Amino acid sequence: MKFYFTFFAITLYILALGSCGKKDNDARLNENALHLSIGASPQSIDPHVVTGVPGIKVLAGLGESLVSLNLETQALEPGAATHWELSEDGLVYTFFLRQDALWSNGEPVSASDFVFAWQRGMTPSVGWQYATDFYFIDGAEAYHTGANQDPNSIGVKAVDDYTLKFKLVRPYPLFLKQLTSEIQIPLHKTSLEQHGKFDDVVSNWTNAGNFVSNGPFYLKTWEINKIIVLEKNPHYWDAQSVKLDKIYLYPIETEAAEERSFRSGQIQFAFGDRIPVDKIAVYREKNPENLKIINTFATYFYLLNVTKAPFDDVRVRQALAHAIDRKAIVTNITKAGEEIAVTLNPPAAGHHAHVKPLEYDVNLAKQLLAEAGFPNGENFPTVSLIYNTADVHRKVALAIQQMWKSNLGINVTLENQEWKVFLNTRQNLDFAIARAGSISSLGDPQDFLESFKSGHGMNNTGWGNSEYDKLMTEASATLNLDTRYQLLAQAENILLEEMPLIPLYYYANSYLIHEDVKGHTFNPLSRINYKDIYIDRTEK
């Protein structure tokens, strides 16, 4: 009997445990707060460690960069700097900082905080993955490679407390845009060094209570894999225009769980970039007001290994590219509002008008294949197509396998690999055809095209072209927008002619957002400006 009494007591205890959360939760949902999901758990919010999107989505609320991006117009606007000047030779940028900007601990934000952040990022032992992207800053390369040990040799200098100067080795058109990034924020030196050496990325300076930020919110709590809470930063210079009191960010890595959480009202905004494809149709029909589909600056494509036969022959590569019915893929398989990719860069990229699009032309494909010595696919070796394990990749691969079989008479075997194995195989050029995707965090064609320069870390094809490299180098030092776009278009035309990759479709992001959440501007870069967001429950 005792036995059962114990169980009875424990059951009551469980129910009691469940109910004690209720009050907290109701209170939480009635706050002036935003509840949103951000995809996987952020690995860090250290701007020199973060590489994934979830971490960026947290940093977006915490920091303020020198320049900010207007999400609606894509125009550059003042951020931590009120204005800036560029020298006539395009080499020296001078930023004038807000004199009323404060850290979340009340101390003033000064130019030296930005200098500190840059010196830390370029320090080799920090291992910042994007450091090499900033070698155009004077002295950055020498310091990062260890040729010069003096951090003050980097061309980022504080002229006085509120004036910051960047010296470049060559004009760089994307520099200001890069500065709008969520990771280009100043760092609070004293608080960082309180918890470890300045280059110690494993110290816990980014934990809640330790992390001092200069943006509209500060880090209140961070329970790993569970919840991140940001609270309004009372010291923020523009605190009166920050409308939310709190932001609850939930790391939810599975799309299905994210959608369920939204449907049950646990989150107001599913901001993990993708919701399950089968649910998109349901929302389209029943709750179209909650569903947002946004075309992005990201492309899905296949890489061809040009170092091995048969893809060392450009005609074979072209034949394969022309024999794919992309429309069928986006309408029957991906079904999330994607658009077919007939170039590498999405149409929103400014140079697009000058790029010659790919066509679905089976006859041309057959002719090219015949010219390469494989009429009707005869004698064509069986090649393998690898993709990382995911349902959508499998379905796309199956469809393309079928298209190549029926259009060209060639056989392709499919092979899925676990993500890290896949990356390894791809980087070692140990494949014939491999799935790939690329995203431009700046929304600029240069971002995509840069990846296919000879020897670039993402150019896993073995392809290289000196003319292409030359055009890219020229474009990356051209400040005039029209000229630059023309150069980039020329480069892209070479790429599409040479075809080391086969574009398939441009990604579309899908979000779910509650009617109460106002002020967010959906944009192709999937960026968020928490400052503008507010909750309006009056419509109910």
Question: Judged by CB under 8 A, which stretch of 65-73, 249-257, 491-499, 524-532 contacts another protein?
Answer: 249-257
Report, in Å, the least distance between residue 192 CB and another protein: 11
* Distance separating alpha carbons of residues 273 and 526, to the nearest angstrom: 7
- Residue 394 CA to its chain's centroid (Å): 23
The structure tokens listed for 341 are: 């990719």
Secondary structure E strands in 314-428: 339-340, 383-388, 412-417
Told to check if 285 binds another protein by CB under 8 A, we report no
Question: Judged by CB under 8 A, which stretch of 92-100, 202-210, 311-319, 320-328 contacts another protein?
Answer: 202-210
Secondary structure E strands in 291-362: 291-304, 339-340
Binding mask 206-235 for another protein (x = CB under 8 A): xx---------------xxxxx--------
Question: Which of 204, 287, 384, 454: binder of another protein (CB under 8 A)?
Answer: 204
Residue 454 phi, psi (nearest 5): -55, 130
- Looking at the DSSP bridge assignments, the partners of residue 440 are none
* Distance separating alpha carbons of residues 319 and 481, to the nearest angstrom: 34
Report, in Å, the least distance between residue 123 CB and another protein: 9
Question: Which of 73, 149, 240, 264: binder of another protein (CB under 8 A)?
Answer: 264
Report, in Å, the least distance between residue 463 CB and another protein: 15
SS3 253: coil
User: Tokens 């816990």 label which residue?
Assistant: 204
Tell me which amino acid residue 421 is: V
Question: Which of 254, 331, 413, 483: binder of another protein (CB under 8 A)?
Answer: 254
Question: Judged by CB under 8 A, which stretch of 126-134, 276-284, 364-372, 505-513 contacts another protein?
Answer: 126-134
Told to check if 3 binds another protein by CB under 8 A, we report yes
Q: What are the residues whose beta carbons fall under 8 Å from the beta carbon of 466, sequence distance 6 or more?
A: 454
* Distance separating alpha carbons of residues 256 and 279, to the nearest angstrom: 9
Nearer to another protein, 7 or 160 (CB): 7
Question: Which of 12, 30, 31, 51: binder of another protein (CB under 8 A)?
Answer: 51
Contact 343, 449 (CB under 8 A): no
User: If you ran DSSP here, which 8-state letter would residue 126 be given?
Assistant: G
Count of positions on this chain that bind another protein (CB under 8 A): 69
Residues in contact with another protein by the rule CB under 8 A? 1, 3-4, 7, 10-11, 14, 17-19, 21-22, 24-26, 28, 41, 43-44, 46, 49, 51, 124-129, 131-132, 144-145, 201-207, 223-227, 250-254, 256-257, 260-261, 263-264, 266, 418-421, 423-425, 427, 437, 451, 457-458, 460
